[in-house]
């Protein structure tokens, strides 16, 4: 009986090992992501443009507002922005192919770049979430009511809820991302727009949440001494600092980059000379009576390059 029991235990161990190996054999190329919810199937996918048209208020007129998205609604897109160098905090941005519309999703989780790399296609269940604006910037999240100001806006999705809502599709491919270019000397044949076009609210909010490149710009404070986001300066500004471009650093004509004081490159000097800057575009204003401010959020410091248009 003793030897029989030992033989049975050994046989059980063999079956258990085989079962585990079978799972590996079914997925030899690691196509099944360890993150998110792999059981999600495409059932009711709408484009990001459709989502924004259906649920979006007139962003340039609404400062803080939310509307609930119908149950069962899904979107699919390519990740264009994450927290790879700590600047885009508790957010990702995605966009699809329908005229490059993008959207920012607010998530209460760090280390998102480890799960959703730049260029990663993702399917997301957005039913029951809220589309809305925070200081006029459109984004997705959960409903939050600020009782002190009697305002509603989308806030961060909990980590557990978020992990159940998304499915990773294939492998990251940053070449799939379509970047809208705004240039100081635009080439219309390449579909480039003028940087000054972003002063038009309709244009700016159309591309809010998208990855864009501004070509041939120069920082107003590129003096070789000023850093991007010193903490002393940012502590009264939500620990983020905006550095504007020359010609766009005055009231009502503001375009620049906003850097978190906790970004890995916060202490870097503001670049000098003419540069090309790529980032996730956002639009903000604190009151409907003010014009919008255009801000780009860098994914990494290398998103600033010496200009090709010099």
pLDDT of residue 254: 94
Is residue 310 very low, low, confident or very high in pLDDT (cuts 50, 70, 90)? Answer: low
CA dist., res. 224 & res. 228, Å (int): 11
pLDDT higher at 41 or 287: 41
CA dist., res. 112 & res. 116, Å (int): 6
Which of 10-14, 19-23, 187-191 has maximum average pLDDT?
Answer: 187-191
What integer is the mean pLDDT of 106-114? Answer: 95
Check whether 11 has a pLDDT greater than 60: no
Check whether 56 has a pLDDT greater than 90: no
pLDDT of residue 104: 97
pLDDT of residue 255: 97
Residue matched to tokens 């519309």: 101
What integer is the mean pLDDT of 128-136? Answer: 93
Nearest to 221 by CA among 187, 182, 174, 257: 257
Q: Which two tokens stand for residue 264?
A: 């890995």
Check whether 14 has a pLDDT greater than 80: no
Residue matched to tokens 């809820």: 161
Classified as helix, coil or strand, 14 is helix
The verdict on pTM exceeding 0.95 is no
| Tens of pLDDT, residues 222-269 | 999 999 999 999 998 889 999 999 999 988 889 999 999 999 999 999
What proportion of the chain, given as a percentage, has pLDDT over 90? Answer: 75
CA dist., res. 99 & res. 96, Å (int): 8
């Amino acid at each position: 009986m003793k030897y029989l029991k030992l033989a049975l235990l050994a046989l059980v161990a063999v079956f258990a090992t085989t079962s585990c190996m079978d799972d590996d054999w079914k997925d030899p190329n690691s196509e099944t992501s360890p993150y998110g919810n792999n059981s999600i199937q495409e059932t009711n996918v709408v484009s990001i443009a459709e989502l924004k048209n259906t649920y979006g208020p007139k962003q340039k007129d609404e400062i803080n507002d939310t509307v609930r998205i119908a149950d069962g609604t899904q979107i699919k897109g390519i990740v264009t922005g994450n927290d790879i160098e700590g600047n885009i905090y508790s957010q990702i941005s995605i966009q699809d192919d329908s005229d490059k519309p993008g959207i920012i999703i607010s998530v209460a989780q760090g280390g998102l770049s480890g799960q959703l790399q730049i260029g990663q296609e993702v399917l997301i269940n957005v039913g029951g979430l809220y589309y809305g604006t925070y200081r006029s910037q459109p984004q997705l999240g959960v409903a939050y009511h600020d009782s002190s100001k009697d305002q509603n806006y989308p806030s961060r999705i909990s980590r557990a809820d978020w992990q159940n809502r998304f499915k990773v599709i294939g492998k990251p491919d940053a070449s799939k991302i379509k970047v809208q270019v705004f240039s100081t000397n635009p080439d219309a044949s390449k579909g480039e727009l003028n940087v000054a076009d972003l002063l038009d609210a309709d244009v700016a909010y159309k591309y809010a949440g998208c990855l864009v490149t501004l070509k041939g710009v120069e920082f107003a404070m590129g003096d070789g001494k000023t850093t991007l986001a010193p903490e002393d300066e940012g502590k009264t500004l939500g620990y983020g600092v905006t550095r504007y471009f020359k010609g766009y650093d005055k009231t009502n004509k503001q375009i620049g980059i906003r850097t978190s004081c906790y970004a890995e490159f916060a202490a870097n000097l503001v670049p000098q000379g003419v540069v090309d800057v790529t980032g996730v575009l956002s639009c903000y204003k604190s009151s409907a009576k003010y014009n919008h401010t255009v801000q780009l959020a860098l994914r990494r410091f290398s998103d600033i390059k010496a200009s090709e248009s010099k």
